[in-house]
Amino acid sequence: MKVYPVEHHLTHAASAYYFSGFNTATVLTIDGWGEIESTVIWKVKNGEFEKVLSIPAWHGSIGALWDFVSKNLNFGILEGPGKVMGLAPYGRDNLEIYKKFEEIFKLDDKIFIFLPNNLNLIDILKFLLR
């Protein structure tokens, strides 16, 4: 048996793309971390993947933040984020929390998600818990 190493976020993107039925797509993968990245945006056309944007995990990981929130809701490691995601539609809007997230996660004119350069994950968690 031959084993072919494949980039972590590429496997997530490929799974989403190949089951989507689209020939052309933009794929966003957000995870705690892969080899280096925590967030990647891909442009895909006819099965060819082009990495458009990559955010390294040490710069700030939305997935790790989601895991932190899940753990603080008393869910277990690695099982909690999926359960919290499934429960999210049943929650209520909380303007105070939304405004805190809005100060950290911005959208630029191309609708790319980014974190301010001067913040890391620890800073974000401290900010949200204040």
pTM reported for the whole predicted model: 0.63
Percent of the chain clearing pLDDT 90 (strictly above): 28
Q: Convert the pLDDT of each residue in 62-110 to its tens digit.
A: 777 777 778 878 887 777 888 887 887 888 888 887 787 777 665 555 4
Q: Which two tokens stand for residue 48?
A: 């060819």
Q: Convert the pLDDT of each residue in 31-40 to its tens digit.
A: 877 788 888 8
Task: Give mean pLDDT, residues 54-59.
Answer: 79
